[in-house]
Amino acid sequence: MAAAAPLAEFRGSGRGKGRGGRCSAPAAPALPGARPSSEPGTDPAAPAPGSERGSGRSRDRARPPWICRRRCPSGTWRPPSPPCPSSRSSTPPISSSPSSTSRAVEMSRKSPFASWLCAMLHCFGSYILAALLLGEAPLGYFSNNSSVILATAVWYLIFFCPMNLFYKCVSFLPMKLIFVAMKEVVRVRKIAAGVHHAHHLYHHGWFVMLATGWVKGSGVALMSNFEQLLRGVWKPETNEILHMSFPTKASLYGTVLFTLQQTHWLPISEANLIFFFTMFMIVCKVFMTATHSHASPFAPLENLICPVLFGSASSGHPGHHHDHHGASHEVSHPPPPPPPAKSKEELNEGTRKRKAKKAE
């Protein structure tokens, strides 16, 4: 049943989000009998030149009630734009694709074979990569019929169970924590088995042991880009090597420990190392899952050691980035100054024009 955890993550990894478009206010309706104006800023409801000018009360009585009583700076009356319906409505905007559906569920309905193939990669991707590295048959693990049938049954129940009962049971937090703990137990045993198998084939091949143990522990994450291609998605920025998650980093560090133990550089038995590292992985992953945290427990140690060994990203000196071929660097020009503010005379002149228009 440890296969239920990666398959549940595979189904819940692609939830779509609704996108509400920006609401644009419709234009105000034209007044009946109003003359269209070609000049900007004029009011169609204003009286034509030479016509009879009534009092302010008669003009207000002729205007519809939705016209604002506030004057614009130009002195003309302008109807306000009706408020956007989404600004006062408490209901979220309706999206074309419901957010409750998952991309993985949609793919399982449209192309079940592609969904099944992605699920098999989630379950057996580490074995495929390890076999490729060691020159063995990539499909050799698929000869284990019981494992393939069990993974297929779990895939079918997760995606096609009536009323999503199986998926709801697996996603229930107490059950999910149990499956997460079982998954970490399997991960540590796969790392230890990968290092031991590589040591059996290459006694002094440290890097072969490191590579084999690492892909055995995090092969699914390392194959994420290939798995995305099967789903018709290409996201190179989600490369696991560039942005390692906690399981990938933990698998790498655990592979180093098991390699040192296999080469007798670490004075501890393999059984004790498996026990302690398994307990560490279970505690960290269960805590991160229960608290919905994505912070890596290795972050404080990495922030302390990495700047000393590899330097920080912003520690480069400008004098070191020179061109050895004599090419001149681009001179960075200062930003243009802001436009000068209006003087008092211009402001007074604008005020006089507005007063004259009001008097007219």
Cα separation, 260 vs 206, whole angstroms: 9
- Residue 336 has a pLDDT of 61
pLDDT digits (tens, 9 = 90+) for 222-280: 888 888 888 888 888 888 888 899 999 999 999 999 999 999 999 999 999 999 999 99
pLDDT digits (tens, 9 = 90+) for 271-322: 999 999 999 999 999 999 999 988 889 999 888 998 898 887 654 444 444 4
Shortest CA distance to 100 belongs to which of 167, 194, 177? 167
- Residue 208 has a pLDDT of 95
Q: Which position has the higher pLDDT, 49 or 234?
A: 234
Alpha helices in the chain (DSSP H): 4-12, 56-62, 85-88, 103-110, 112-133, 145-160, 165-171, 173-201, 206-222, 224-230, 246-262, 270-291, 299-309, 344-359
Mean of per-residue pLDDT scores for the chain = 74
Cα separation, 191 vs 199, whole angstroms: 12
Residue 333: what are its φ and ψ, rounded to 5°? -85, 145
Cα of 5 vs its chain's centroid, Å: 21
Tell me the whole-structure pTM to 2 decimals: 0.61
Cα separation, 283 vs 99, whole angstroms: 33
- Residue 145 has a pLDDT of 93
- Residue 319 has a pLDDT of 44
pLDDT digits (tens, 9 = 90+) for 137-160: 998 889 999 999 999 999 999 999
